Amino acid sequence: MKVTLKEWNAIATWHWDIPEDEVCGICRVQFDGTCPTCKFPGDECALLVGTCGHSFHMHCLLTWINQESSKGLCPMCRQKFEWKQGNE
């Protein structure tokens, strides 16, 4: 018998490839969900991964970083927040 798989319609789920923590420390929503300002996860609601190892929804972090009082620090570890190069 010769079996030919003509077409394979697969289903997959995606998830952010981040080291730790499921939940954004700022909005407390799962990373694979959306930050409070977004409606669609993924492209529209990107993540920022800090060199310190902490990740946040981009919008959440930007709100914080734009604040003078943040002094550009990571909300979790209070080191200077710099996002890893290579990720937008």
Partner 1 sequence: MADQCSLRLVRELAQFERSEQLAFTVAYDEKNTRDIQALIVGPPGTPYELGFYEFAIKIPPDYPASPPTVRLKTTNQGRTRFGPNLYASGKVCLSILGTWPGERGEEWSPAQGLESVLLSIQSLLSSNPYTLEPGFDDRSDDTENIEAYNSKIRHENLRLAVIDPLEKALQFPSLTWQPRTQRNGQPPVYGADSDRQAPNQNFLSAFGDFSKQRFLWYLDIYKNAIEKGIVEETRRHTTPFLSMPFESSGNGMQGTWDYTKLKTRLESVQEQLMEEIHKWPTEGLALVKEDAGIAVKLMGQHEQIVTEMKSRTQVMDLSLADGNPFVWRLTYAGRTESRLEGGIIKIKIFISPRHPVEQPRVFVESPLYHIRVSKMGVMIYLPARADEIRHHIDGIINTLENDNPPYNPLMTVNPEASALCWGTEVERRLYRRKLRASLEES
Partner 2 sequence: MLSTVPLNVGRRRVFGSVFSPASLEAPTKSKSNSEHETDRTPTSSFHSSTGSTSTFKADSLPTSFATVGGSTDSPNEETLEQARLAASEFLSVPNLGFQLLYDYRNTDGSEVLKQWNRLSPPSKETAEALECLLLRSPEKQGLLRTIVNCLQLARRIYLAPVVRYLLPLIPTPHQAGFLAQLQRAFHTVVSYSLPWQQISPLLTSEITRDATTILGIDTLDGDSDMEKMSIDEMEVDRAYSVSYKDWRRETTEGRAHMMDEGEDHRVAISRDRLLAFLNGLQLVGLGAEKAQKVFARVMNVMMSDFISAAYTGQWDAPTSAPHHLRQWIENVFARLAVQVLAIIHSEQSGTHSGALDVSFRDVEKWQEVGIARLGALRVSELFDVVVEWPASSGAVEDLRHFTTHTTSRTHVTQSFINMLQQRLLHPGASTVEILQVYISIIRAFHLLDPKGVLLDRIARPIRRYLRDRDDTVKVIVGGLLADSTAPNTGDTLAELSTELTKVHQHSMRGNKGELDFDDLNWVPDPVDAAPDYRKSKSADVIDSLVSLFDSKETFVKEMQTLLADRLIQNRKNYDQEITVLELLKVRFGDSALQACEVMLRDISDSRRLNISVQKQSHTKPRSAAMANRLVPPDSTDLHAKILSRFFWPEIQEQEFKVPKEIAKLQESYATGFEALKASRKLNWRNGLGQVTVELELENHSFTGEVTTWQATVIYAFNSDTDTDPNEPATKSVTELSDTLSMTPALVRSACLFWVSKRILTEPHRDTFRVLEILPSEHEAHGSIIAGPEGAEDEDDDDANAAAAAEAAAAAAAKESAEAAAMEKMNLHWQFIVGMLTNQGPMPLQNIVMMLKIVVPGGFPFSNEELREFLGGMVSKGKLEVVSGGSYKIVH
Contact footprint for partner 1 (CB under 8 A): 25-29, 35-37, 60, 63-64, 67, 69-70, 73-76, 78
Please spell the DSSP secondary structure of 28-53, one letter per residue: --BTTS--TT-SS-BTTB-EEEBTTS
CB 59 within 8 A of CB 45: yes
Residue 83 interaction partner, one of partner 1, partner 2, none, beta carbon < 5-8 Å per kind: none
Element (H, E) at 59: helix 58-65
CB of 33 to partner 2, least distance (A): 5
CA dist., res. 35 & res. 45, Å (int): 7
Q: Does 4 bind partner 2 (CB under 8 A)?
A: yes
The reply to whether 53 sits near partner 2 by the rule CB under 8 A is no
Minimum distance from CB of 70 to partner 2 (Å)? 23
The amino acid present at 31, given as its one-letter code, is F
Which residues of the shown chain bind partner 2 in the complex (CB under 8 A)? 1-18, 30, 32-33, 39-43, 47, 49, 87-88
